[in-house]
Chain A
Amino acid sequence: MRSGNFKVAYKTIRESKWQSSLTMFGIVVGIVSVVTIVSLGQGIKRQIVGEIKSVGSDLITVRAGKGVKRDADGNIQKISPDFVYGFGSGTLNDRDVAIVEGSLGVKDATPIRLLNGSVIADGREYGDGFVLGTNPSLPNLIQQKLEYGSYFTTGETSRQVAVIGKSVAEELFQENVPLGQVVTIRGQDFIVRGVFEKFNSNPLGQGIDLNKAIFVPTTSLKEVAGTAAPVVRVLARPQNPKNAGDLAKQISSSIKDSHGGQDDTTVLLQSENLQVTSSVLDKLTGFIAAIAAISLVVGGIGIMNIMLVSVSERTREIGVRKAVGATNRQIRNQFMAEAIVLSVLGGIVGIIASFVLNFLIRVTTDLTPVITWPVVIVAAVVSVSVGIIFGTIPAVKAARKDPIDALRIGN
């Protein structure tokens, strides 16, 4: 009886192909948009998490300002957007740098000085990038290799040498070999001695493209630019990765002491950064997916509409079925089955279409959406529930029709 209902429903749906496929289209669009948006979110999250992990989860970042709220256990409760994206506005002083560098258990540390503004090379101006002053330990700290040349060494901290990111090399020197060329920063010539490999991670924060950066020794940048190049970050890595948490707390309290007890700096672990970033992305994905879910509701209303039309079109059929002995429940089940078959077919087509779209996005763009099983299962469950929810009213309407009236119509 049950399976018979679904067979009959499937047959009925096949008989009105146009109507059914248009109705299904509503569900298909809903499922595809939700699945695709969630999978894009998952893909971006996986990408960013991968980038953050590639830097190493024990990297400690010190920055000015209080952008993070922690609970009693030191877990992050809230983080200001300013601390997720870009360099931020606060600056640190030399004493803070010295505290971090001098802390017990620190293996490597470097201040990051930032100088915005254009650089000139070969008569060409490059305005997209920025200049970073760092210690020689930077490549080690952020685990980044050089493609050509080498990073400056401890002996060269006050010499005017530069290592450039890949985009800078391409923009300024094009097909020429950048090594040995000169870039002019604030009227001073710096000799290029290395080119970084392409950066896949953003250890300084989201939205900072290190491929567009010019790295120079921190001392020489200070000499050239003075206060125009403030310290925006101090990066440190512990000798023992397991002690990263303790070290971060220790640095935090040392700086607090040196600031006269004022808690105006933030010490972040890379692993915390990971947690914060993924929670922000999850929220964002959820929000957009919720908007996309509206189309599922619209699709459901489409089903309800079609079913209502179908019920009034088939009044006579209902009358005949009742006359030969169908109970209200049997009529209701028949129409429910139809709505469910419609929405389940829509769900199946939607899930298949999502995989196709996923493939197309991977092929045509550099995004890598990831369809996870929970998303597919949720989509399937949602499509069935849409059928049940929006099929109920028409089915009940059909079941309640008076057989005499129903038989009279069209007589």
Chain B
Amino acid sequence: MPIISIKDVSKLYGFGDATTVALDEVSIDVEAGEFVAVMGPSGSGKSTLMNIIGLLDRPSHGEYLLSNRYVSKLRPNQRAKMRRDKIGFVFQSFNLLPKLSVLDNVALPLMYRGVSTVKRLQRAEDVLERVGLKDRQYFMPKALSGGQVQRAAIARALVGDPQIIIADEPTGNLDSAASLIVMELLSELHRTGNTIIMVTHNPEITRYADRVVYMHDGCIVHDQRTPVGEVPALAKKAMYVYPRRTEEDDLAGVSAMMDFRPEKSTTKKRRASKKTTKKRSSVKQKRTTNA
């Protein structure tokens, strides 16, 4: 029985001619204990999917079963309670509350469960020990390095023993050394049986996942199981295989300058026009960082 079961879920924003389809009848099942990496260009609907899985948002259409319960029609307060009990969030920008100490930040989700102060601080301390920040528990977030803050954020996600951890580009704001530590930590959590869903732009870190999902224009275009430790070939290419091309690009003539189309793209051709590729890839990088 999958822990997450999404069937034909769509999410629309706006109305009339201005309707944007953020998710287009997406279906995905996630088993307990899986580490799913979600890749895709910006605007592909990854974040919307994460918001729906994380119960921050509700789908416009479709069914969502979270641990065997239909949750797509829940009211905001019920969603808040489900979120509190079943889901832990790790954000790209950490999102620790700057005015609370690390310990208080980690204990925060338990406060909303009504756990007594002593118990929740004890529990928070235990979790901080697990992520290796016990000696930093009384620090304020701004006194920690980026990697430490993200580990504290992971501790906060863990503190309530959630069934699912949702990480939205957890290494997006970190340098490679800090990224490594954070990913090792997530990997460790995965080994101990946690279900993790992670959005990333960085193909390198998909090596920690055992399943990689590619999204494009609100659809899941590829879903691949990979052994942990291997970066799937498609992940490396993901950026190039599915370039983002919009009507505006066509109108402005930008498309013409993109010397490849998904169907045309070959390594040979790219080697041939090395110069343009370089230029283009720098554009791509910019896009990646913008996202």
A residues within 8 Å of B by Cβ? 1, 4, 11-12, 15, 316-317, 319-330, 403-404, 407, 410-411
* Interface status of B89 (Cβ within 8 A of chain A): yes
Interchain CB contact under 8 A, B156 and A327? no
- Cα A251 to Cα B182 in complex, Å, equals 102
Interchain CB contact under 8 A, A316 and B95? yes
Q: Which residues of B78-123 are within 8 A (CB) of A? A: 80-81, 83-85, 89, 91-93, 95-97, 99, 108-109, 111-114, 117
Interface size of B as a range: 20 to 34
Query: Which residue in chain A gives the minimum CB-CB distance to B47?
Result: A404
Interchain CB contact under 8 A, B97 and A323? no
Query: Which residue in chain B gives the minimum CB-CB distance to A324?
Result: B109
Kindly identify which residue among A316, A317, A324, A411 contacts B112, using a CB–CB cutoff of 8 Å. Answer: A324
The answer to whether A323 and B77 touch (CB under 8 A), given A4-B111, A12-B99, A407-B95, is no
Interchain CB contact under 8 A, B77 and A15? no
Interchain CB contact under 8 A, A328 and B89? no
Query: Which residue in chain A gives the minimum CB-CB distance to B99?
Result: A15
Kindly identify which residue among A4, A15, A316, A410 contacts B117, using a CB–CB cutoff of 8 Å. Answer: A4
Kindly identify which residue among A1, A4, A320 contacts B97, using a CB–CB cutoff of 8 Å. Answer: A320
Interchain CB contact under 8 A, A325 and B160? yes
Interchain CB contact under 8 A, B76 and A328? yes
Interchain CB contact under 8 A, A327 and B112? yes
* Interface status of B57 (Cβ within 8 A of chain A): yes
Query: Which residue in chain A gives the minimum CB-CB distance to B117?
Result: A4
Interchain CB contact under 8 A, B99 and A322? no
Least Cβ distance of A223 to chain B in Å? Answer: 89
Interchain CB contact under 8 A, A328 and B99? no
Contacts of B226 in A (CB 8 A): none
Contacts of B112 in A (CB 8 A): 321, 324-327, 330
* Interface status of B51 (Cβ within 8 A of chain A): yes
* Interface status of B12 (Cβ within 8 A of chain A): no
- Cα A330 to Cα B91 in complex, Å, equals 22
Interchain CB contact under 8 A, B85 and A325? yes
Interchain CB contact under 8 A, B77 and A321? no
Interchain CB contact under 8 A, A325 and B83? yes
The answer to whether A321 and B108 touch (CB under 8 A), given A326-B80, A327-B81, A407-B95, is yes
Kindly identify which residue among B56, B85, B93, B109 contacts A404, using a CB–CB cutoff of 8 Å. Answer: B56
Instruction: List 17 interface pairs A-B (beta carbons < 8 Å), by A numbering.
Output: A4-B117, A12-B99, A320-B96, A321-B112, A323-B91, A323-B95, A324-B83, A325-B84, A325-B85, A325-B109, A325-B112, A325-B160, A326-B80, A328-B76, A407-B56, A407-B95, A411-B92
The answer to whether A324 and B77 touch (CB under 8 A), given A1-B111, A1-B114, A404-B51, is no
Interchain CB contact under 8 A, B99 and A11? yes
- Cα A320 to Cα B111 in complex, Å, equals 13
The answer to whether A328 and B56 touch (CB under 8 A), given A320-B95, A321-B108, A323-B95, is no
Least Cβ distance of A8 to chain B in Å? Answer: 9
Query: Which residue in chain B gives the minimum CB-CB distance to A15?
Result: B99
Among A321, A328, A329, chain B packs the most CB atoms within 10 A around the CB of A321
Contacts of A11 in B (CB 8 A): 99
Kindly identify which residue among B80, B84, B93, B113 contacts A411, using a CB–CB cutoff of 8 Å. Answer: B93
Contacts of A15 in B (CB 8 A): 99
